[in-house]
Structure 1
Amino acid sequence: MVLLMVVWQAYGQMSLRSVRHCFAQLQIVLALHCRVPSHSSIRNWLCKSGYYRIQREQKSVRNPAEQWALVIDESITIGSEKILLVLGLELSTWQFTKSLSVEDVRVLAVETSKGWSSEMISQRLTDVGRTHNIRYVISDGGINLKCALRLSSLVHVPDCSHVAANALARQYTKHEGYISLSKSAGALRRKWYLSKNVVYMPPVQRGKSRFQNIFPTIEWALTIVQEWERIPIEVRAELLFVKKNEALVEMFEQITVVNSLLKILKVKGFTAQAKEQITVLIDTLTTPRGQRIRQEIATYLATLSSIATDETLVCCSDIIESYFGKFKQRSIQTLTFIDRVCADNRQLCRSV
């Protein structure tokens, strides 16, 4: 019965109190005679199960010939604590037919601290390396992460999403056309929220790392331009800032190219063939800004080429952002909350 309730919560995404009430109804149907646990007891079982799974993964003996790719990040902050998360992908089992999902990776380490220095991160990676043969580590360009990898003598594969986002950011952060579009879209979203015009509302924009989700905003703007004649007249008056934005076409062309090359890297990984395909794509960037983006992408491809031999590289860390999204959806800002979530590995990974 304990396992049943744990599965209901972890895999069925039921709330703790819903699990309790469902178990009470099951008792009535099956004529069972046992006490109904409180939601706190169920939460306790989840924490113990998660802690056991993490410990089992960390202490399990692996075949030294099996190579692993790690994905690491520590950017999320809850309260005064920062979470360090290390995910592992067994390379021999990965077929490069889709993007990484929760079921494809294992949680190898998860800890909280007031801050994570490069020495602390290096020590955690050393601990993971005792039981796993680490081929390379995928992460963003965080200084402490890069220093930790150097201290641990591990190969660093830069995340393609961050590289592309940074290349776009350097060209458009101070660009008047983009600034105008972003501000006007944000104001319009606040104005139209829960209104009858919500169908035309621009997508939400991130406050941090905004260029990592620039694609939906630009695609929305181009859709507005393409469907202009079908939009009601009273709505068009509010959307004139899109119609008049001359920089939109150039931005769309560049972002379309970047989006296409990211799809290749996220699904197929990096290979010599992928490099050729991406080179053809970026050669279409002919404007001054496009040329600068092209140069940054070409430099990134050269970095990946120096790492890869005859293998296919995993070069995307989006999966770790998905994990952190689970934490961000829970708004409780207490240390107790952090301890419990970190212990509850079922909320982090269903495949361990």
Structure 2
Amino acid sequence: MIWLCVYIYYQCQCSYRACSAIVAGSALLLGLRCRKPSASSIRNWVVKTGYYVYCQPPASGDWCLLVDESVSIGRERLLLILGVPLGGWGFSRPLSQQDTRVLYVGVAESWKSTAIEKELLALSKKLKVGYCLSDRGNNIVSAVKRAGMLHIHDCSHEWANHLETCYAGNEDFKGLMDKLCRVRKKWVLSKYSHLMPPKLRSKARFLNVFPLIEWIENILGAWGSVPPEAQEELSFLDTYKPQIEEWVVLKEVIKSMSLILKTEGMNKGTIDRCRSLLDIKCTIGATKEFSRLLQQSWEGYADCMEVEGSN
């Protein structure tokens, strides 16, 4: 009964009450004699299962640590460290949540580099750390270096940082985003709400700017079917056509590099393929500067790829 409830919860991704109803209905159909489990009991079993998995000793071999600090939870912040055993990882597909294991979860009012270093060193006594992966948070980067571990920047954050360097002060980009924001506010409860642009985050906006670029592509591609009144509201898009073309190029390049690096990992072969892609596609305007910044950041990994000889 316990195993069935936990299995249904994880595999069907439904609520505790839905799990209870599924088990009761299955028992009725199959003629099983059992009481209907309560939602609170199923939650208790799921929590205990998670804690049991968390307490299991780590596998032998090298591990990759994924370190991140969350946004504030009230006055406190969450530090999460996930681990990926590299021994059985073949770099044949993108990483998923099922491939990771929770190694540490901690809550504190602040996470300074010394506190993060302490937890990293504690983990290094339990398992062999190959390298750590994170964004460019100063406290995390400092903690990894102080712990004497190899640090690799997350490629998505790396790309977003370079995009911000290229476009944060760009007046054309600011103007386009401002006008799209006005259109969104105007259309939110109108008859054109199905056409309004997606929301752009105020923080880390360069991490999710490409859905907005895809929306612009779709609108321009179906311009003939857009109502005349909406066309008039969106007429400013033609003014920013050169900038939009740059973003479309960057979107396609980053999508291709993401497929390469997140599937096959970072090594000499994949980096060379990404360099070729950048040299061919990113040749004008801010795309050229993005290519320069990104290839320059890869130079910092040349020594470790030479030593490791692998991903």
In the TM superposition, 1:122-271 aligns within 5 A as 122-193=117-188, 196-246=191-241, 247-271=243-267
Name structure 1 gaps, 5 residues minimum. 314-352
Q: Does 1:293 align with 2:290?
A: yes
Tell me, in whole angstroms, the C-alpha distance in 1 between the residues paired with 2:102 and 2:310.
22
Separation in structure 2 between the aligned mates of residue 84 and residue 209 of structure 1, nearest angstrom = 19
Alpha-carbon distance, 1:2 to partner = 1.6
Say if 1:71 and 1:88, in contact at 8 Å, map to a contact too: yes
SS in 1 for 2:201: coil
Q: 1:232 to 1:50 in 2, by over 3 A?
A: same
Aligned-pair CA distance for 1:257: 2.6
Deviations 1:53-88 (A, max 9, x none): 1011xx34x43xx11111110123333332211111
CA RMSD, 1 decimal: 2.3
Q: For residue 67 of structure 1, what is the aligned residue in structure 2?
A: 62
Percent of aligned pairs sharing the same letter: 33
Q: Output the CA distance in 1 between the equivalents of 2:200 and 2:30.
A: 50
Task: Give the drift of 1:199.
Answer: 4.4
The C-alpha deviation readout for 1:281-325, integer Å capped at 9, x for no partner, is 222433353332222111221122222135443xxxxxxxxxxxx
CA 1:29/1:257 → structure 2, altered by over 3 Å: closer, same or farther? Answer: closer
Mapped to 2, the partners of 1:230 and 1:252 lie a distance apart of 22
1:84 corresponds to 2:84:
no
Q: Which amino acid aligns with 1:243?
A: D
- 2:112 aligns with one of 111, 117, 132: 117
Q: Does structure 1 residue 9 correspond to structure 2 residue 9?
A: yes
Q: Aligned pair in 2 of structure 1 residues 197, 288: CA closer, same or farther (>3 Å)?
A: closer
What SS class does the counterpart of residue 75 from structure 1 fall into? strand
Q: How many residues align?
A: 308
> Do the aligned residues in 1 keep the contact of 2:94 with 2:262 (CA within 8 Å)?
yes
| Aligned-partner Cα distance in 1 for 2:285–2:26 | 67
Higher mean displacement: 77-86 or 283-292: 283-292
Structure 2 counterpart of 1:160, one-letter code? C
Structure with more relative contact order (C-alpha pairs < 8 Å, separation 6 or more): 1
Partner of 1:319: none
Q: 1:312 to 1:181 in 2, by over 3 A?
A: farther
Residue 47 (structure 1) aligned with residue 47 (structure 2) = yes
SS for the counterpart of 1:69 is strand
TM-score, normalisation: structure 1: 0.79
CA distance in 2, matches of 1:92, 1:134: 12
Q: 1:268 to 1:32 in 2, by over 3 A?
A: closer
Q: CA deviation at 1:15?
A: 1.0
Q: Verify the 8 A CA contact 2:83 2:100 in the aligned structure 1.
A: yes
Q: What amino acid is the match of 1:277?
A: R
- Give me the whole-angstrom Cα distance separating, in 1, the residues matched to 2:250 and 2:63: 34
Matches of 1:114 and 1:31 in 2, distance apart? Answer: 53
The equivalent residue for 1:322 is none
Residue ranges of structure 2 left out of the alignment (5+ in a row): none
TM-score by length of 2: 0.89
Shift of 1:196: 4.6
The separation in 1 between residues aligned to 2:194 and 2:263, in whole angstroms, is: 31
